[in-house]
Amino acid sequence: MRTITLEQLPSILGSIGPNPRVLASGNFATPYTLLNTLDATLPEYRLHMLNAHGAIPDRDGVTYETAFIGPAMRHHPRTHYIPARLSMLPILIRNQYRPDIVLIQTSPKHHDTVSLGIECNVLPAAIEEVREHGGLVIAQANPHMPYTYGDAQIYENEIDFLIEVDEELTTIEPGPLDDVSKAIGERIATRINDGSTLQLGIGAVPDAVVQSLHQKKGFRIWTEMFSDGVLGLHKSGSLDDDVPLTASFIFGSRELYDWLDKNKRVRIMRTEVTNNPGNIERQAQMTSVNAALQVDLFDQANASRMKGKIYSGFGGSTDFIVGALHSRGGQAFIALPSWHKKADVSTIVPLIPEPVTSFQHSAGRRARNADASPKSVRVTPEPAGAATASSSGRFRPMPQNTSRRPPAK
């Protein structure tokens, strides 16, 4: 590894061939300074990121690639969406989307290593692939990035060039939850046992679930990502202190990042570890909680498309649903409000009319029952998965047992 200045970077990038594929840290770990310098140097390139946020380069000559569309790439005409669940993405990076340059944001040096901090994900796979084929790994070492352990630790000899940059990390502070999300969270929390292993997706409902678990004990964390809700479980004494917390990326508050720094209770692991359904199913009472845009009466969920257009992607929800349903004592929840306020439509439909994110949990099993009141609707598939929704009262009550077959004649 060679430490250089930002001014030296353009001459190094000048040796790269035409239209290279640049894979950069995504989520809240984007190395914006590196990315902007590269953008000012290369006339044309493909930018591969997961869940891109903030002001990324946007001009003719820059093509986006992603398996999970974040706000910075959403509805963009130059976005190329890769339909893949997250556990498969390292394989695609190796076989179809091999990078020429990998840009990462890391902690400062600690002995002979740096850490990927809050974003591990597919980066180790990308680093291995680009080094095997003679590409470049360039690190932006940032004093604001926490040093985390596990696969996030990168040795000096895995990096070609390191540039020291003082750049604030993107943060999000916990905010108040709406009444509907609280109601859904409380309902799910009543079905989660002490000692369960938790996977929590992105959104208000998973956050509400965590807030409703503070009176319970012994929770373990095996998840794709977590946010400040897990810090809240730590503060309330609800976590199992004997088992490390395992995740692949983090986003949240500055307080959360400070708690992560050199915290040996937390392991930030590569996607191939966290999202492997075989690893997930080995976790005790694995409980998966994810949000969706639509659910139907056949236990299917749409978490990626709106009005026929891609909105986000598979992410890791499908990996964890499959793993949780194979876990001893496991369960998988897909949760959402039953009425979409902006679109003014129900999010519970008889049959999802477009490609689904999550299929029926097992062949031949249908929604067993549907019970409703003016304020709630619940669809409970048999035997282990669950989709839970809470309504503002606009969803018309459904007759009992509408999904049962008529009696045999």
Tens digits of per-residue pLDDT, 268-284?
999 999 999 999 999 99
Element (H, E) at 208: helix 204-211
pLDDT above 70 for 406: no
Q: Which CATH architecture has domain 179-390?
A: 2-Layer Sandwich (3.30)
Right CATH for 2-164 from 3.90.930.60, 3.40.1080.10, 3.40.50.720, 3.40.50.300: 3.40.1080.10
The answer to whether the beta carbons of residues 120 and 50 sit under 8 Å apart is no
HEC per residue, 39-51: HHHCCCEEEECCC
The answer to whether the beta carbons of residues 45 and 103 sit under 8 Å apart is no
- What six digits make up the tokens of 70? 């974040």
Tens digits of per-residue pLDDT, 14-67?
889 999 999 999 999 999 999 999 999 999 999 999 999 999 999 999 999 999
Tens digits of per-residue pLDDT, 232-265?
999 999 999 999 999 999 999 999 999 999 999 9
75-to-5, 69, 311, 314, 352 alpha-carbon distances in Å:
36, 9, 8, 16, 22
Tens digits of per-residue pLDDT, 135-159?
999 999 999 999 999 999 999 999 9
Element (H, E) at 23: strand 21-24
| CA–CA separation, 317 and 289 (whole Å) | 8
| CA–CA separation, 274 and 270 (whole Å) | 7
The segment(s) of the chain belonging to CATH 3.30.750.70 are: 179-390
The segment(s) of the chain belonging to CATH 3.40.1080.10 are: 2-164
pTM over 0.85: yes
Computed on alpha carbons and rounded to an integer, the radius of gyration of the chain in Å comes to: 22
Residue 216 φ then ψ, to 5°? -105, 170
- What six digits make up the tokens of 225? 């990502």
- What six digits make up the tokens of 287? 């409980």
Dump the DSSP string for 274-323. HT-HHHHTTSTTEEEEEE-SEEETTS-EE-SEETTEE-S--TTHHHHHHH
